[in-house]
Amino acid sequence: MNALEAVVARIAALPRPARIGIDGVTAAGKSTVADALAQLVEQPVLRVTIDDFHRPPPQEYYPWSFDFPRFREHVLSAEETVIADGVFLHHPDLRDLWDLTIFLSADREIARERGIARDESWMKHARERYATRYLPGETRYLEEVDPEALADIVLETTHLDRPRLRTVERQLVPHRAVRLSRIVDSRTVTDEAKTYEAAGVSLATADAVAERLRAAVESTGATGFGRFSGLYPLDERRLLAASTDGVGSKLMLQRRAGRLRWGGMDLAAHCIDDVLCSGAEPLFFLDYVAAEHIELEQVADLVEGAAEVCRAAGCMLIGGETAELPGVYRDDELDFAGTCVGIVNRKDLIDGSRCAPGDVIVGLPSSGLHTNGFSLVRALVGDGDFDADLLLAPHRLYLDEVRTLRAEADVRALAHVTGGGILGNLSRVLPGGVHARIDWDAWERPRVFSWLAEQGVEEDEARRVFNLGIGMCAVVPEAPAGALVIGALTP
């Protein structure tokens, strides 16, 4: 997959109509890339450039010469996906418009061509050039805004007039499970910003980490990077499937509520569900507990919870590791991670390759939040009391439901709905050129998602972060009787 194809795949995963903004160091580069994407994206597209929204003369080419309100209205009223290019798309008056932002960054070769000293970046040079040529009197904008740092995707070009895309540096369709958690003061999540990122977790950063690791992973001979479980050929007939994950910051609320056993259940169910997505049956499970100070009862609760789920799945818990790490973890905090290994016959492998437009998406209900989005949940709860039964319901194990569905239908893909929501995880298993369309009113959501809305979490953010009541998706050509159909595949 080249850089443009990766961007097209990212756009395809967005709810439609989407709004994509392209900024960069050259007008030629921005328009070239915008035009190319408009041709490649398989959906109706409205091409817009901010340069068409100057106020009438005698205004000069300054940021305040743009009619930002008219531009905003034009973009927001469009029924098609908007691909816009032009300078100042990251200006504070426009920054909240975009579902995806792309920045074109010139590489060192261009810097050398322009005679820029080696210890100066091209972006620094570009900002200084804008400040002297275009922005007299408004250097504050350049001091406070670094478009490259704000962008979801950065593309490097190797020629100013006819850019050749070299590499995607940031946000892509998820390829590897990456959990980033941060201790956050609940006061940082304000009424204006009740989002996962405001709570300290960036899904874009998680995607960037995953893509950065791709080369190292594939250098070992592994293929299929990005699936819910990694596959290893055991012999000509069978494959091993393995997945590693952790409970994450949900453990902090579970510890406060005295529900660490549920944390063990979360971990085992999460890892086994990942392995199920390849069509594998779980074989065995290993765990890892780490803490500032080990307390026997806490470790016992975690491991006993994991063992409960492993027994239900017929999965053997064969061992683990306990680490006491003073100075690494905060006082009283702990972490719990694990690995599940399963086995699948090659003829039974589920990999999404047979998915096609017209297939339907069957949803398997979740028990609640499962194990994702808890940095935001913790920030909303703060230090106050909370309803543990509402917020901490254990992650659901889908083994029996997946077995039943496979016996009744031709299951072509399975997507475990974890970080990234329903669309983000479906995109991990669908082939190129095939997209998911979800009927968001097709099921009744568990009460916890009403609670999130009451706390000020907006619908778009909830769809991007949480499972919203669907913990596993299956793609089938025809849904069996009684199945919950939540959407379909489209070209």
Cα–Cα dist 102/82, whole Å? 13
Which residues have a Cβ under 8 Å from the Cβ of 52 and sit 6 or more positions away? Answer: none
Question: How many Cα atoms within 13 Å fall on the side-chain side of residue 144?
Answer: 9
| pTM: predicted TM-score of the whole model, two decimal places | 0.61
- 205 and 69 both lie in a single domain: no
- 265 and 368 both lie in a single domain: yes
Of 352, 373, 240, 261, give the one whose Cα is nearest residue 308: 261
Is the CB of residue 470 less than 8 Å from the CB of residue 417? yes
Final residue of a domain: which of 168, 199, 222? 168
- 448 and 357 both lie in a single domain: yes
What percent of the chain has a predicted confidence (pLDDT) above 90? 47
Which residues have a Cβ under 8 Å from the Cβ of 99 and sit 6 or more positions away? Answer: 14, 15, 18, 19, 20
Looking at residue 262, which CATH number applies to its domain?
3.30.1330.10
What percent of the chain has a predicted confidence (pLDDT) above 70? 70
Handedness of CA 155, 158, 159, 165 (dihedral sign): negative
- 159 and 256 both lie in a single domain: no
Looking at residue 127, which CATH number applies to its domain?
3.40.50.300
Handedness of CA 271, 273, 274, 276 (dihedral sign): positive
- 57 and 18 both lie in a single domain: yes
Of 419, 9, 424, 368, give the one whose Cα is nearest residue 202: 419
Cα angle, residue 239 at apex, residues 395 and 225 outer, rounded to 5°: 65
Phi first, then psi: what are they for 331, rounded to 5°?
-55, 135
Final residue of a domain: which of 105, 135, 168? 168
Q: Which residues of 301-313 are buried (b: 16+ CB within 10 A; e: fewer)?
A: bbbebbbbbbeeb
Tell me what pLDDT residue 312 has: 96
- 209 and 120 both lie in a single domain: no
- 43 and 108 both lie in a single domain: yes
Instruction: Enter the DSSP assignment of 85.
Output: E
- 231 and 96 both lie in a single domain: no
> Is residue 176 situated within a structural domain?
no
Number of domains in the chain: 2
- Summarize pLDDT for 107-151 with one digit per residue, the tens: 444 444 444 443 344 445 444 544 444 444 444 444 445 555 667
- Summarize pLDDT for 401-419 with one digit per residue, the tens: 999 999 999 999 999 999 8
> Is residue 243 situated within a structural domain?
yes
Cα–Cα dist 39/97, whole Å? 22
Name which residue leads in pLDDT, 34 or 130.
34
On average, the pLDDT of the chain sits at: 79
> Is residue 173 situated within a structural domain?
no
- 67 and 124 both lie in a single domain: yes
Both tokens of 105, joined, read 């960054």
Query: Which helix (H) or strand (E) segment is 375 a member of?
Result: helix 374-381
> Is residue 178 situated within a structural domain?
no
Of 286, 312, 296, give the one whose Cα is nearest residue 394: 312
Query: Looking at residues 305-319, what average pLDDT do you find?
Result: 96
Tell me what pLDDT residue 88 has: 60
> Is residue 179 situated within a structural domain?
no
Tell me what pLDDT residue 197 has: 54
- 235 and 101 both lie in a single domain: no
- pLDDT above 90 (res 184): no
- Summarize pLDDT for 338-394 with one digit per residue, the tens: 999 999 999 999 999 999 999 999 999 999 999 999 989 999 999 899 999 999 999
Neighbours of 346 (CB within 10 A): 14
Query: Looking at residues 289-296, what average pLDDT do you find?
Result: 90
- 209 and 246 both lie in a single domain: yes
> Is residue 181 situated within a structural domain?
no
- 318 and 405 both lie in a single domain: yes
> Is residue 264 situated within a structural domain?
yes
Lookup result for tokens 């990212």:
10
- pLDDT band of residue 156 (cuts 50, 70, 90) is low
Cα angle, residue 62 at apex, residues 57 and 66 outer, rounded to 5°: 65
Is the CB of residue 253 less than 8 Å from the CB of residue 391? yes
Of 10, 3, 54, 13, give the one whose Cα is nearest residue 33: 3
Query: Looking at residues 85-100, what average pLDDT do you find?
Result: 73
Q: Which domain holds residue 196?
A: 186-490
Final residue of a domain: which of 168, 200, 215? 168
> Is residue 307 situated within a structural domain?
yes
Is the CB of residue 275 less than 8 Å from the CB of residue 472? no
Across 261-387, the runs of DSSP E, i.e. the strands, are 281-291, 316-324, 334-345, 360-365
